[in-house]
Structure 1
């Protein structure tokens, strides 16, 4: 159906319900003469008279009534569909496709899955865990969660939580044997557990900064992994020093299984962001998710 035909049908239904051109014209915000002309042209295209007009009244013809009986329920269904689109938050429903780094999935989202489900039981979270720099638009995701430095361009970004820090950690046993590095330049003397981004060939170079001085450490060691959980386990077993986010290492440090090193060389940075395409109308389930998770991760 063309847009003009929909408008003509809507005008016809309004005239029939109001019983006059003047009342219908007021509701449709057009002049009575323009409305009358529109109906004459509509009837001419159909080859059917829908309305009988006199100087005092307007009546629906038999054929017009037959048309009304079919299209009024359709307009009712259309109005209901529109109402459901703007339903209150309690009625939020549908699927929400998210692309998250492994760290974001495990430490930011996973602890709140149950609470989100209780708040929005009709929303299905469709989660892809991916440490590559994926294009969420090409992948048809509603949103992603990454560190701020890894955000895609031309995205709307919402910060989740406070600042984060990178940490160099090692097991107490390893440090008892080898001592501690005093600066990043000492790391060449220590075995280190290196990280390779999934899908990439290059190995991540550890980054340090203090008082405006920036150092990138070219380290070596017995293990290269593309998963930080493996790196944590290896560090606890004393295979070498590891370079991880505070959100991953904090519990292990608190339990005494790891010790933090070079803390004055790893200043805090912005942290994690939820990001999504800049669309005019945000899906209501995404709006609910942003408000929910953002509220829980405030700090």
Structure 2
């Protein structure tokens, strides 16, 4: 394969990962027309069509899927070697890609990432906000911020925040009309705002612990969301009870717009962790991110 065709393959991979030509062009720092031209040239050289194109999106053909499956491991090895060589230098540099929920970005990531950017101008940080539990290898992420219970067994997890508790909350008007539940079993008589973390995953079952019992309840209601902010908005507007990490609704509880219920059934649990693969060579930039994010108990 010619050298320019190898470069064209990186453009194809960017289009596949970003889902369309426009976002791939932004990521690569070139024009959309240049991306389109590169893909056409690559397909002509390959002798087969790699992408199906519509007016709104692109997807891989069968041959394209086989090509990408064989391409990714090699490019990953090249990237890891480059990062390894970078880490030899005195100045940490390179791109760190992190996936996290918007709530985790606001509470955990953003304050620290801005400090890193000021202290290490050669480090570039990409943050992908998604409540879906993205696969790190599939999404080519270096790390993810997840609650401890959602960290996979093949990942290293570093605590980046204190213990948290869930909060079942609803508007005062809703509770005035429907009553205040005092036991998780009573949720069956209430409208609940449901979370689904991924398009192909089951809705999240609400977990409670208290009075020596552990209870898991399937709930239902008028809405299913994949972002906690929408759950909070629905609760504020009186559509039912939402089940949200307490830090995300402390302001609304304090000002009386939301009322907490079942508080004695919501024991604190391990909070957010930064997780990353144990099998991947760690870059100097990722080392900085991990060290800065690592949660330290006051006084230690």
Normalising to structure 2: TM-score of the pair? 0.66
C-alpha separation between the residues in 2 aligned to 1:132 and 1:223? Answer: 17
Per the TM alignment, residue 218 of structure 1 is displaced from its structure 2 partner at its CA by 2.9
Structure 2 portions without partners, runs of 5+? 1-83
Q: Which residue of 2 aligns with 1:112?
A: 112
After superposing the two structures, state which structure 1 stretch, 147-156 or 133-142, moved more. 133-142
Alignment root-mean-square deviation, CA: 2.4
CA contact (8 A) 2:207 2:214 kept: yes
Q: Which residue of 2 aligns with 1:75?
A: none
C-alpha separation between the residues in 2 aligned to 1:280 and 1:208? Answer: 36
C-alpha separation between the residues in 2 aligned to 1:251 and 1:113? Answer: 24
2:88 to 86, 89, 96: 86
SS in 2 for 1:128: strand
Residues 220 and 284 of structure 1, relative CA distance in 2, 3 Å threshold: same
CA contact (8 A) 2:86 2:283 kept: no
CA contact (8 A) 1:191 1:221 kept: yes
SS in 2 for 1:98: strand
C-alpha separation between the residues in 2 aligned to 1:220 and 1:275? Answer: 31
After superposing the two structures, state which structure 1 stretch, 104-113 or 168-177, moved more. 104-113
C-alpha separation between the residues in 2 aligned to 1:97 and 1:114? Answer: 15
Residues 210 and 85 of structure 1, relative CA distance in 2, 3 Å threshold: closer
C-alpha separation between the residues in 2 aligned to 1:263 and 1:127? Answer: 33
After superposing the two structures, state which structure 1 stretch, 275-284 or 177-186, moved more. 275-284
Task: Please show how residues 52-131 of structure 1 align to structure 2 within 5 Å.
Answer: 85-88=87-90, 91-131=91-131
SS in 2 for 1:204: coil
C-alpha separation between the residues in 2 aligned to 1:298 and 1:258? Answer: 30
Per the TM alignment, residue 171 of structure 1 is displaced from its structure 2 partner at its CA by 1.1
Q: Which residue of 2 aligns with 1:180?
A: 180
CA contact (8 A) 1:135 1:152 kept: no
| Count of aligned pairs between the two proteins | 216
C-alpha separation between the residues in 1 aligned to 2:100 and 2:280? Answer: 23
Q: Which residue of 2 aligns with 1:267?
A: 267
CA contact (8 A) 2:184 2:208 kept: yes
C-alpha separation between the residues in 2 aligned to 1:177 and 1:206? Answer: 23
Task: Please show how residues 92-171 of structure 1 align to structure 2 within 5 Å.
Answer: 92-171=92-171
Larger Rg: 1
Residues 149 and 201 of structure 1, relative CA distance in 2, 3 Å threshold: closer
C-alpha separation between the residues in 1 aligned to 2:189 and 2:85? Answer: 67
CA contact (8 A) 2:169 2:259 kept: yes
Structure 1 portions without partners, runs of 5+? 1-81
